[in-house]
A and B are shown apart, each in its own frame.
Chain A
Amino acid sequence: MAQTEVIGGPHVRAPSSVPRTMALVLLASSPAAGLGLYLFGWPALNLLMVTIAAALLSETLSLWLMGKPVRSSLFDGSALLTAWLLALTLPPWAPWWIGALGGAFAILIGKQVFGGIGQNLFNPAMLARVALLISFPLEMTTWAQPHPLFAADSPDFLTALSITFGTAPHIDGMTSATVLGYVKTGFTQGHTLSQSLTGHFAPTASLLGDTNGSLGETSALLVVLGGLVLLQQRIITWQIPLAMLAAIAALSGLFHWIDPERYGGVLFHLLSGGALLGAFFIATDPVTSPSSPRGQLLFGAGCGALTWVIRTWGGYPEGVAFAVLLMNAVTPLIDHYLRPRVYGRTRRGEPLRPPAPRNETSDE
């Protein structure tokens, strides 16, 4: 029992750890991911596996190159989670090299170049997604209709391999766009919003997930459910998701009210694309979001506003990834200026003034 070194308190700790945190996020997103895998079948699973394998390989390689302990860092779950989240935002039938490039890019450029876990300025998954989107716009915007596993038109395992690994370029059921994409192209062809939306946007389908879109973001219901689990487990705080969704809702509501034929409504914006997945799982990435509650509110609101702006006026149909990256860049600034108020001090750091004495006369 002899103790020579001085050990500081506390001598008990909360049952939290980095691997546990990562595992909980994985778990919370797994219902939505599971549904995605079910809806899009074997090709989606292939893509997921390729992305994860590429990320883990890249992580191992860079840890090894930098002489860092490989085992504990590799198994902290962070690389796995990055790849997982990236895959959830990819078109589910994308070819294998999209996943491979994305996974490697996320880890090598998104994370390790900055110095590894906790050091990166940008969300690695979103950085990879944007890099892919810019480099391979066609593959990144070619979406499959749901072909539920075990349904008659679902590709079997072999067909799936040929879809993922690139021997079957034009598979029946590949459609050109998501709802957001339809609206965007619709406008360029002079269609009104309702014309574009007809037959392409059904709130109930978006709610349940029976629609085309990224692997993990089709079912609003399951995404929100996962988000609630994260909130309940205190893995994330409410500030970022709430502020982000509120900003999207406020802007879309306002503009839809001004001109319903040009601007999508609240439900449309909240339920389509990566708004929900972004709010609960992406923007809340601890490393790249601010630390103080007020900073998180501002950050979330910024993500939401930018998402709406990019969707509405930007060159791409979907804005979440860009919005998150842009806000990542201001995170250090937010952290510097929006600190919590210190006990006994004003927001500006001056000591509070003592209250006036309650008694009739003060001494001295």
Chain B
Amino acid sequence: MLRLRRLRFRGGVHPEGHKQSTTDREIEPLPLPARLYLPVQQHIGAPAEPLVKPGDYVLKGQLLARSAGAVSAPVHASTSGTVVAIEPFTAPHPSGLPVRTVILEPDGEERWAERSYDSDAFAMTPEEIAARVGAAGIVGMGGAAFPAAVKLNLGSRNTVHTLVINGGECEPYLTCDDRLMQERPREIIDGVRIMMRALHAHTARIAIEDNKPYAIAAMTAAAAACPDVHVTAVPTRYPMGSEKQMIQALTGLEVPAGKLSADVGIVVHNVATAHAVRNALRRDQALISRIVTVGGGAVDTPRNLEVPLGTLVSDLLEACGLKEEPARLLAGGPMMGMVLPHAQVPVVKGTNGIIALTAKEINAGEVRPCIRCARCVAACPCGLMPLEMASRVRSGDIDGAVSYGLGDCISCGSCSYVCPSNIPLVQYFNFAKGALANQREEQRKTEETRRLAAERNARLEAAKQQKANQQRRRSEAAESTESG
């Protein structure tokens, strides 16, 4: 296959992969823990509304909380057992605030709720497929946790020609998608074809970083029977797993600022999401488990575990053993993952990895002044000038940072990764974005108040007017009777 255009995007970095310890290990099931903790918000969007109460007996796959709003996802029971409590509990969520959580005590019987196997996905309409995916609580499983059904509905409003399946997995240590592609390629391809139908897309392109030769081989073989599904090896380069960068590498297209990828005719889903879609459509199975890479230098035996959602991180770490107390515990990969405050946090739909790093791996150095070496500029996949943005944020000039493209920053961390002065650039940007969001929220509130006040005034005005009219009419009527 001759390619004239090199498959790449600008910038990016090459962090050390650390994938060798788990890429050859088969996915192993984790036994049921003593308790499962299922937050009602495991996705971007509105939290789901619980439908059960403490003391209820629930079946595996049973709906526990229904989605509330257009962008939301329901939550299902990962196994059969009894709901013991519904209360706030720490979840791996950037806010760090406790989330309302359904606590389930398994009975160990794995009794399934009733499922229907008779539906044929290819006899369903695209809308029906999307509805099923929504009902199954599927969210983007690459970490973003955006409700998948919302993205599958884009086909009816936009002209989507290509479904891109993201098998990049560019974060160091993570191999859960790699293993999934190696072990269940046919299921993934099946899911891909179902999604293509939902989107009216005529092509699917599965992109896999070229450091995963076995996954590429397995997926290529599985896709051989489908002429409209193509597997492409893309260069290993962080952040290849980012939607926009992957689209650019694969197609050369850029998603215009402020637009969705669907506006250029492309929708991107993760391989694990495709797998979950297949399970939902072919086996009527809600999203109740996922594959998690447990890794990092502090872990004794790094593994890929198939875990019931709601399992505590401490259970995962126990299953893999710790060599030493981790200096930092992460949900997700080391580039964009979030720091966990402790291990009493459940695995949720978007948790692709639990990484326990040693102090040496973190390689935290002294923060020094910026030497303007421009390595951050060269590394930024979005064409920004992180050093300029950071210096403006530091001096409190958020608008200045915005004029340098703060809004276009995807927080990928490439700039911080290369900075020889160890300046926490992304941290500055996230702080500034937070401040900006607050500012907008304030503005929205003020405007809302103003609008409400105006409405109220208008209402009062109208009432007065009406009263006056009535009075006039009454007096007119009186006049007419008098004169009559």
Real complex partners, A and B?
Answer: yes
A positions within 8 Å CB-CB of B? 1-4, 6-18, 20-21, 72, 76, 78, 116-119, 234, 237, 286-293, 296, 335, 339-345, 351-355, 357-359, 362-363
Find the B residue at minimum CB distance from A8.
B427
Which A residues lie within 8 Å of B427 (CB)?
8
* B233 at interface by CB-CB < 8 Å: no
Interface string of B363-402 (1 = CB under 8 A from A): 1111011111111011011111101100000000000000
Which B residues lie within 8 Å of A14 (CB)?
13, 15, 417-418
- Asked if B385 and A355 make an inter-chain contact with CB atoms under 8 angstroms apart, the answer reads no
- Asked if A362 and B374 make an inter-chain contact with CB atoms under 8 angstroms apart, the answer reads no
- Asked if B256 and A353 make an inter-chain contact with CB atoms under 8 angstroms apart, the answer reads yes
A339-B385, A344-B244 known, 11 other contacts, Cβ within 8 Å: A1-B325, A2-B341, A11-B357, A11-B362, A12-B357, A286-B374, A335-B385, A339-B404, A342-B257, A344-B254, A344-B258
- Asked if A118 and B371 make an inter-chain contact with CB atoms under 8 angstroms apart, the answer reads yes
Find the A residue at minimum CB distance from B94.
A6
Q: Knowing A6-B339, A11-B330, A11-B357 are in contact, say whether A363-B365 is a contact too (CB < 8 A).
A: no
B436 nearest CB across to chain A (Å) = 16
Q: Total A-B pairs in contact (CB under 8 Å)?
A: 192
- Asked if B422 and A343 make an inter-chain contact with CB atoms under 8 angstroms apart, the answer reads no
Q: Knowing A7-B328, A342-B408, A354-B263 are in contact, say whether A16-B418 is a contact too (CB < 8 A).
A: yes
Query: B57-65, B108-116, B155-163: which lies at the A interface?
Result: B155-163
- Asked if A13 and B265 make an inter-chain contact with CB atoms under 8 angstroms apart, the answer reads no
* B172 at interface by CB-CB < 8 Å: yes
- Asked if B96 and A6 make an inter-chain contact with CB atoms under 8 angstroms apart, the answer reads yes
Measured between alpha carbons, how far is A164 from B159 in the docked complex, in Å? 78
- Asked if A11 and B328 make an inter-chain contact with CB atoms under 8 angstroms apart, the answer reads yes
- Asked if B342 and A9 make an inter-chain contact with CB atoms under 8 angstroms apart, the answer reads no
* B153 at interface by CB-CB < 8 Å: no
Q: Which of A16, A291, A358 interacts with B385 by CB under 8 Å?
A: A291
Measured between alpha carbons, how far is A187 from B386 in the docked complex, in Å? 50
Measured between alpha carbons, how far is A339 from B385 in the docked complex, in Å? 8
- Asked if A8 and B424 make an inter-chain contact with CB atoms under 8 angstroms apart, the answer reads yes
Which A residues lie within 8 Å of B232 (CB)?
none
Q: Knowing A291-B385, A342-B383 are in contact, say whether A13-B256 is a contact too (CB < 8 A).
A: no
* B16 at interface by CB-CB < 8 Å: yes
A239 nearest CB across to chain B (Å) = 10
Which A residues lie within 8 Å of B256 (CB)?
344-345, 351-354
Q: Knowing A358-B159, A362-B159 are in contact, say whether A10-B421 is a contact too (CB < 8 A).
A: no
Measured between alpha carbons, how far is A286 from B13 in the docked complex, in Å? 20
Measured between alpha carbons, how far is A238 from B136 in the docked complex, in Å? 53
Which B residues lie within 8 Å of A20 (CB)?
420
- Asked if B420 and A17 make an inter-chain contact with CB atoms under 8 angstroms apart, the answer reads yes
Interface string of B318-354 (1 = CB under 8 A from A): 0000000110111000111111111100000000000
Q: Which of A2, A12, A291, A351 interacts with B259 by CB under 8 Å?
A: A351
Q: Which of A2, A11, A16, A354 interacts with B420 by CB under 8 Å?
A: A16
Q: Knowing A9-B413, A292-B385 are in contact, say whether A363-B159 is a contact too (CB < 8 A).
A: yes
Measured between alpha carbons, how far is A69 from B329 in the docked complex, in Å? 32
Q: Which of A286, A296, A357, A358 interacts with B371 by CB under 8 Å?
A: A286
Measured between alpha carbons, how far is A339 from B339 in the docked complex, in Å? 33
- Asked if A8 and B372 make an inter-chain contact with CB atoms under 8 angstroms apart, the answer reads no
Q: Knowing A18-B420, A292-B385 are in contact, say whether A118-B372 is a contact too (CB < 8 A).
A: yes
- Asked if B334 and A11 make an inter-chain contact with CB atoms under 8 angstroms apart, the answer reads yes
Q: Knowing A237-B378, A340-B383, A343-B381 are in contact, say whether A10-B366 is a contact too (CB < 8 A).
A: no
A346 nearest CB across to chain B (Å) = 9
Q: Interface residues of A: mostly helix, strand, loop or mixed?
A: loop
Which A residues lie within 8 Å of B388 (CB)?
291, 335
* B430 at interface by CB-CB < 8 Å: yes
* B223 at interface by CB-CB < 8 Å: no
Q: Which of B10, B334, B380, B418 interacts with A9 by CB under 8 Å?
A: B334
Measured between alpha carbons, how far is A345 from B159 in the docked complex, in Å? 22
- Asked if A12 and B172 make an inter-chain contact with CB atoms under 8 angstroms apart, the answer reads yes
* B188 at interface by CB-CB < 8 Å: no
**Max count, chain A CB within 10 A of own CB: residue among B158, B330, B355, B374:** B374
B97 nearest CB across to chain A (Å) = 12
Which B residues lie within 8 Å of A16 (CB)?
375, 418-420
- Asked if B172 and A13 make an inter-chain contact with CB atoms under 8 angstroms apart, the answer reads no
Find the B residue at minimum CB distance from A10.
B413
* B26 at interface by CB-CB < 8 Å: no
B346 nearest CB across to chain A (Å) = 17
Q: Knowing A7-B339, A72-B366, A335-B388 are in contact, say whether A357-B383 is a contact too (CB < 8 A).
A: no
Q: Which of B159, B340, B418, B430 interacts with A8 by CB under 8 Å?
A: B430
* B455 at interface by CB-CB < 8 Å: no
**Max count, chain A CB within 10 A of own CB: residue among B256, B343, B357:** B256
- Asked if A291 and B372 make an inter-chain contact with CB atoms under 8 angstroms apart, the answer reads yes
Measured between alpha carbons, how far is A296 from B377 in the docked complex, in Å? 12
- Asked if B16 and A13 make an inter-chain contact with CB atoms under 8 angstroms apart, the answer reads no
Measured between alpha carbons, how far is A363 from B417 in the docked complex, in Å? 43
Interface string of B221-256 (1 = CB under 8 A from A): 000000000000000000000001000100001111
A181 nearest CB across to chain B (Å) = 34
Measured between alpha carbons, how far is A126 from B248 in the docked complex, in Å? 42
Q: Which of A2, A4, A8, A18 interacts with B368 by CB under 8 Å?
A: A18
A-B contact pairs, 13 of them (CB 8 A): A8-B416, A13-B416, A16-B418, A17-B365, A17-B420, A18-B421, A117-B369, A117-B371, A234-B375, A339-B385, A343-B244, A345-B257, A351-B258
Measured between alpha carbons, how far is A287 from B362 in the docked complex, in Å? 27
Which A residues lie within 8 Å of B259 (CB)?
344, 351, 354
Q: Which of B157, B264, B338 interacts with A354 by CB under 8 Å?
A: B264
- Asked if B15 and A12 make an inter-chain contact with CB atoms under 8 angstroms apart, the answer reads yes
Which B residues lie within 8 Å of A353 (CB)?
256
Measured between alpha carbons, how far is A341 from B408 in the docked complex, in Å? 11
- Asked if B421 and A355 make an inter-chain contact with CB atoms under 8 angstroms apart, the answer reads no
Q: Knowing A2-B342, A292-B385 are in contact, say whether A352-B420 is a contact too (CB < 8 A).
A: no
- Asked if B339 and A3 make an inter-chain contact with CB atoms under 8 angstroms apart, the answer reads yes
* B426 at interface by CB-CB < 8 Å: yes
A66 nearest CB across to chain B (Å) = 13
Which B residues lie within 8 Å of A234 (CB)?
375
- Asked if B257 and A344 make an inter-chain contact with CB atoms under 8 angstroms apart, the answer reads yes
- Asked if B422 and A9 make an inter-chain contact with CB atoms under 8 angstroms apart, the answer reads no
A240 nearest CB across to chain B (Å) = 11
B213 nearest CB across to chain A (Å) = 24
- Asked if A363 and B253 make an inter-chain contact with CB atoms under 8 angstroms apart, the answer reads no
- Asked if A18 and B357 make an inter-chain contact with CB atoms under 8 angstroms apart, the answer reads no
Q: Knowing A12-B172, A342-B405, A351-B257 are in contact, say whether A359-B426 is a contact too (CB < 8 A).
A: no
B50 nearest CB across to chain A (Å) = 28
- Asked if B372 and A343 make an inter-chain contact with CB atoms under 8 angstroms apart, the answer reads no
Measured between alpha carbons, how far is A149 from B368 in the docked complex, in Å? 41
B262 nearest CB across to chain A (Å) = 10
Q: Which of B258, B370, B387, B426 interacts with A10 by CB under 8 Å?
A: B426
- Asked if A358 and B373 make an inter-chain contact with CB atoms under 8 angstroms apart, the answer reads no
- Asked if A12 and B334 make an inter-chain contact with CB atoms under 8 angstroms apart, the answer reads yes
